[in-house]
Amino acid sequence: MATKAELGSARDEYYRCLDRARSSCSDCNYQQALDWCINSFPFIDEMMQFERKHLNGNHSEIESISLALYLGPLILNQKCLVEVASLLTACKRIEKNTTANIAAELQIARQRLWVAHRFWKMLTKNGATNNDDISTILEDHENLRIQLISTWDKLGLVRIVDDAGPSRIELVTNLNELTSAKCPACGAIGKARKAKLLEEVSCPKCKSRVVFVQIVST
């Protein structure tokens, strides 16, 4: 049985990770935000225990899980969904002690990821979208369409063609174009092709399997 102090320090650690996830998210470092969400997972159970016992807290949602399930599909990251699934299996108490249905949210996230993949594939094949493509793939996914386009626009992957309606987007000039990117494991900065920014690659410096984070100039 963990002591109050132990539970309290796990809770601090959870909120530290969550804060970092949020601030990475506002900096458009979505991959890094996901990594911070995943880093918070080992502390969730004890954070919840502390809040139940000492703060009379009820959990209607676990924010770092919600953020991971929201962001993952937008940057085509399947790993975080796998991490959520293993967390729920490894620690059944988490799901049991929230009023949210995390398993159902995970299922929705899987579906969103699948749709996002199809959309991205169509875009990389044709170089642009039109309303017909959009309605074929993203029918019934209006919010997802808006979120994907806005996320990919922020990452510099697509350009919104304003005069042709909100659905018309084009891939940026060239996905082979090089952009500055940073290894999230060792911090090495190098050039990466834009097409590779959503994929796991081997860092030439530290050899970790990572998704390079684009350095966004604002």
Cα separation, 178 vs 175, whole angstroms:
8
Least gap, CB of 207 to Zn ion (angstroms):
7
Residue 103 binding Zn ion, by CB under 5 A: no
Nearer to Zn ion, 57 or 187 (CB): 187
Least gap, CB of 180 to Zn ion (angstroms):
14
Cα separation values, 95 from 87, 106, 126, Å: 10, 12, 42
Among 149, 151, 174, 143, CA closest to 164: 149
Instruction: Candidates 27-35, 49-57, 92-100, 175-183: pick the segment binding Zn ion (CB under 5 A).
Output: 175-183
Sketch the per residue contact string, 48 through 87, with Zn ion: x for CB under 5 A, - otherwise: ----------------------------------------
Nearer to Zn ion, 92 or 205 (CB): 205
# chain residues binding Zn ion, by CB under 5 A: 7
Q: Which two tokens stand for residue 141?
A: 């996914």
Residue 183 binding Zn ion, by CB under 5 A: yes
Residue in 106, 171, 203, 211 binding Zn ion, rule: CB under 5 A: 203
Give yes or no for a contact between 3 and 47, defined as CB atoms under 8 angstroms apart.
no
Residue 185 binding Zn ion, by CB under 5 A: yes
Q: Count other Cβ atoms within 10 Å, centred on residue 179.
A: 19
DSSP label of 173: S
Cα separation, 93 vs 143, whole angstroms:
31
Residue in 88, 91, 172, 188 binding Zn ion, rule: CB under 5 A: 188
Residue in 4, 121, 205, 209 binding Zn ion, rule: CB under 5 A: 205
Nearer to Zn ion, 25 or 203 (CB): 203
Cα separation values, 132 from 65, 76, 166, Å: 34, 22, 13
Place of tokens 């804060």: 19
The residues binding Zn ion (CB under 5 A) are: 183, 185-186, 188, 203, 205-206
